[in-house]
Amino acid sequence: MNDHPIIIFDGICNLCNGAINFVIRQDTKNKFRFATLQSPAGELLLKKFHLPHLDAGSFVLIDKGKAYQQSTAALRVMNYLPWYWKEVQIFRIVPAFLRNSIYDFIAQNRYQWFGKKAACMVPTPDIKSRFLEEIDQVQ
């Protein structure tokens, strides 16, 4: 799994699901793997990187053996997408505490603004292999 960055996301959050669907559409080289916070694989990855489940927010990126959260994770994802998304890196000049304040505000209100599902999204057959669900898929 080390050669694939892994995005751990809130599987019942409509905003998060929209973001993951965006990444899937843009990731033409199928680099990313995905796990929901609610799955055994997601929980194991959070434990492995010493990230408490409740404090994980809505989005974690595991890339090259390191865990990234909040706006830094989002910006790192853009590095893997087509060239025109790399321009988003300009936001790295904004101090992380400011970027993360905005990120946290959106994350805290995501259910109220965008709603949530009763259960995690079910990937379609063509992308199911990119989703990590069970513990043995991350060991």
pLDDT digits (tens, 9 = 90+) for 9-24: 988 888 888 899 999 9
Kindly state the percentage of the chain with pLDDT values over 70: 91
| Structure-block tokens of residue 59 | 């989005």
Give the pLDDT of residue 132. 86
Q: What phi and psi values does residue 69 have, to the nearest 5 degrees?
A: -130, 170
User: In sequence order, which residues have a C-beta less than 8 Å from that of residue 85 and are 6 or more positions away?
Assistant: 26, 78
The yes-or-no verdict on residue 55 having pLDDT over 60 is no
Q: What is the pLDDT of residues 23-34, one digit of tens each?
A: 999 998 999 999
0.75 surpassed by pTM: yes
